[in-house]
Amino acid sequence: MAYRILIDPAAARRLRTFLPHVVQGLGRQLADLLEPDTLAKAGIAGDGRLNIDAPGVSVSCRMDVRDETLTVLDVEEREGAAAAAT
* Contact of 18 with 77, CB cutoff 8 Å: yes
Output b/e per residue, 6-39; b: 16+ Cβ within 10 A: bbbeebeebbebbeeebbebbeebbeebbeeeeb
Percent share of the chain, pLDDT over 90: 22
Say what the pTM is.
0.76
Q: How confident is the model at residue 46 (pLDDT cuts 50, 70, 90)?
A: low
Cα–Cα nearest to 25, from 51, 3, 57? 57
Say what the pLDDT of residue 43 is: 59
HSE, side-chain direction, 13 A CA sphere, residue 71: 13
Give me the domains of the chain, ranges plus CATH numbers.
4-77 (3.30.2310.20)
Q: Does residue 7 carry a pLDDT above 80?
A: yes
pLDDT digits (tens, 9 = 90+) for 49-81: 888 887 778 999 998 888 888 899 999 987 654
